[in-house]
Amino acid sequence: MENNNNNVNEVEKIKAASNYLRGTLLESLADEITGAISPDDTSVLKFHGSYQQTDRDLSSERKKQKLEPLYNFMIRARLTAGIISSKQWLTINELADKYGNGTMKLTTRQTFQLHGILKRNLKKTILEINQIMITTLATCGDVNRNVMSSPNPYLSKIHFEAFLDAVRISNHLLPKTSAYYEIWLDKEKVAGNGSDEEPIYGPTYLPRKFKIAIAVPPYNDTDVFSNDIGLIAIEENNRLLGYNVLAGGGMGMSFEDPATHPRLGDVLGFVSKDKMLKVVEEILKIQRDKGNRSDRKFARLKYTIETMGLETFKKELTDRLGFELEPSRPFNFISNNDRFGWTQGDDNLWHYCLFVETGRIKDADNYPLKSTLKQIAEKYNPTFIITGNQNIIIANVEEKAKEHIDALLKSILNRKPLTGMRQHSLACTALNQCPLAFAEAERYLPSLIDKIDKILFELKLENEPINIRMTGCPNGCARPYLGEIGLVGRTIGKYNLYLGANAQGSRLNVLYREMADEDTILSILRDILQQFAAKRLENERLGDFIVRAKIVQIPNVEIGI
């Protein structure tokens, strides 16, 4: 294994000294004097699926009282393609009340998070999650994260095959360390002083996080271009031949460093199903060996490819594989949105895609979402599928149960009409939990859309599927740079406004206005939406109109559609 950086950053030193992700986590968890764990262990803990956070709403008051911040922990599950059984759902629903803040957060990587876990309950929560055959291992940290695949696998034979390939990738790239099982599940240490071998990752794992997604055309509902590795399923005569391989996507950037930027993955070529796993592993290993381990801002695969040059990267991949990828095959995406309501799979079972605003599963006034999903799980035992757009699919429903579930859903959906923009909105957690957030996202976006909705109804655009995405910082967890409208928090109440991504997820938006407050955002959007309503072409999406009308200048071209 190569190491092209002599001066590694502090996180690299922590990983090297962690004894394959053990660190001093056991000691930190046992320390009853503080609600926190040691600073070094916060880096190690991420690999186990948890982040240390604080309740930032209470920080000032607790500081006045000379109390330490109210530390708590987020726990993230590993759910390949977002699939979870009713039995598992009911347990997680219970754990959210028992140990968390009573809610579940659906993420943009097809999994869920529990928030507000106190340190004394952290081990109990992870243990009980594992007891229902769900792990939290490698959902955070410098490893391959949750593997996405187009929901839902039960729609067709091709979707199911793609799902099985996502499972293969996920299992193959799981860390092999036994530290997770020792610390959280009380398993005995492995032989050899507790050391492990990591044949794929090595002792210091990857330079940064690594993300993989599969998309099945014509829907790009996993935003496949935003991943370190993207796989686009290529079908012929109802047979999955293989995948077009993308590499080098990533959403994150830093305000303070203009050299950082979001990036779409490059199409490298086509690989048959039987060789796909080898290609994925070797791309990951190039990142392991060539990635930047001195500056974490430039440690993602996208920067490795830019440093090496795309052709050099492709040659390196060919040399490691011992064969060349075939030329990419034609494909077509029409949307990166979810399709709401009922759809029927090839097996005649029914599946209902339910909009979940900002991905938060909770009971609110006149909207008992959490309780209703619990009731559906208890009575009808469906499969639940979390989508990459923070929504939930109630899957594998028989005809006789469909009518009853429909009635239950209508009883909670009987509220104000949902505009197309609201249904296609995404927001990260941001304040008050995320320590990286500069501004609100999840708690603010619904009220902002309330105000935009008035404009949409006035212009008769209420059914237009407009992608709007908001994050509290530039790291891009809700993929704001692929929104037709993107809002990235700069400080409380002010956002950078981005415009002009397309509806297929294959074109980035561009910065239109910095440090915009609510009045400025609404004024800009009113003007643009008025132009759109008056001058749009037939079936033209807002992002395409913004580019055609030269409201923004797009420097990059669309990819492969």
Q: Catalytic positions, please?
A: 76, 145, 209, 211, 428, 434, 473, 477
Count of residues in the chain: 561
Please report how the helices 273-290 and 301-308 are oriented relative to each other, as an axis angle in degrees rounded to 10. Answer: 80
Within 10 angstroms of residue 486's Cβ, the number of other Cβ atoms is 30
Residue 12 buriedness (CB in 10 A; 0-12 / 13-18 / 19+): buried
* Helix axes 157-172 and 273-290, enclosed angle (nearest 10): 40
Q: What distance, in Å, lies between the first and last C-alpha atoms of the chain?
A: 37
Residue type, 373: L
Adjacent-strand bridge partners of 516: 495
What's the CA gap between 125 and 100, in Å, rounded? 9
- How many C-beta neighbours within 10 Å does residue 539 have? 6
Return the residue matching tokens 């002792």.
203
Is the link from the previous residue into 435 a cis peptide, with omega within 30 of 0? Answer: no
CA 273 to chain CA mean position, Å: 25
Q: Take residue 487 and report the two structure tokens written for it.
A: 């809002």
Identify which of 180, 153, 175 has the alpha carbon closest to the alpha carbon of residue 166: 153
Distance between CA 191 and CA 137 in Å, rounded?
21
The answer to whether the CB of 145 falls within 8 A of the CB of 206 is no
Beta bridge partners of 185: none
Cα dihedral 346→352→356→360 (10° resolution): -80
C-alpha–C-alpha distance, residues 497 and 480, integer Å: 10
What the block records as the tokens of 542 is 């807002």
Smallest Cα–Cα separation from 215: which of 119, 333, 361, 123? 333
450 Cβ neighbours under 8 A, 6+ residues apart: none
**Rg from Cα positions in the chain:** 23
Rounded Cα gap, residues 437 and 435, in angstroms = 6
Nearest to 180, CA basis, from 163, 198, 154: 198
